[in-house]
Amino acid sequence: MSGKTKVLLIGYGNPGRRDDGLGPALAEAVEKLGLPGVTVDSDYQLIVEDAAAAAEHEVVVFADASVDGAEPFSFERLMAGGGKPGFSSHSVEPEGVLALARDLFGATPKAYVLGIRGYEFNEFGEYLSEKAKHNLDCALRFVQTLLMEGLLLTKAEVRSD
């Protein structure tokens, strides 16, 4: 990765619900790359503590499974939510994490959401459908290129088609 950009990639979802595990699967694959300046985190859902981690980075990528998004994935710029950050006692949306980072820590990292298209969510099992595996591979190649070439600070919005 060029420069000293600090990037946080958070993959979230429930690996026990088939394709809902795409976010954590991407996080695991990116972590194996061992890229300098890239911190990887993975969990079932975003939580308020993620705001503290986001505040320590220049760029944050939120990776999750998408039920009906673009195939094989979508990648869009994300902004902090306006007003009070919305969250329940159990989870926070990406915009809420950014709003908390801004309001609590004065940090405004550049952020993106990566939605990897999944297909099978209603069955239990810790494995991905074949189509979801393909989409994960496409998303990993895309993210790896962005990270290795330092493109996240200049990327505006990309949609896969």
Residue 141 domain-assigned? yes
Assigned token pair, 81: 């939510």
Residue 1 domain-assigned? no
Q: How many domains does the chain have?
A: 1
Provide the 10 A C-beta neighbour count for residue 1.
17
Give me the average pLDDT of each 10-residue run along the chain (161 residues): 74 95 98 95 95 96 96 93 54 92 96 97 92 98 93 56 42
Strands 73-78 and 158-159: antiparallel
pLDDT in tens, 37-84: 999 999 999 999 999 999 999 999 999 999 999 999 999 999 877 555
Residue 42 domain-assigned? yes
Residue 84 domain-assigned? yes
Residue 151 domain-assigned? yes
Integer Cα distance of 51 and 46 in angstroms: 9
Residue 2 domain-assigned? no
Residue 46 domain-assigned? yes
Print the domain residue range for 129.
Answer: 7-159
Of 56, 61, 52, whose CA–CA distance to 100 is shortest?
A: 52
Kindly list the strands in the beta sheet with 158-159, ordered across the sheet, starting from the edge strand earlier in the chain.
38-43, 7-12, 59-66, 110-117, 73-78, 158-159
Using DSSP's 3-state secondary structure scheme, residue 139 falls into: helix
Model's pTM, two decimal places? 0.88
pLDDT of residue 1: 42
CATH number of the domain bearing residue 25: 3.40.50.1450
Of 74, 70, 97, whose CA–CA distance to 86 is shortest?
A: 97
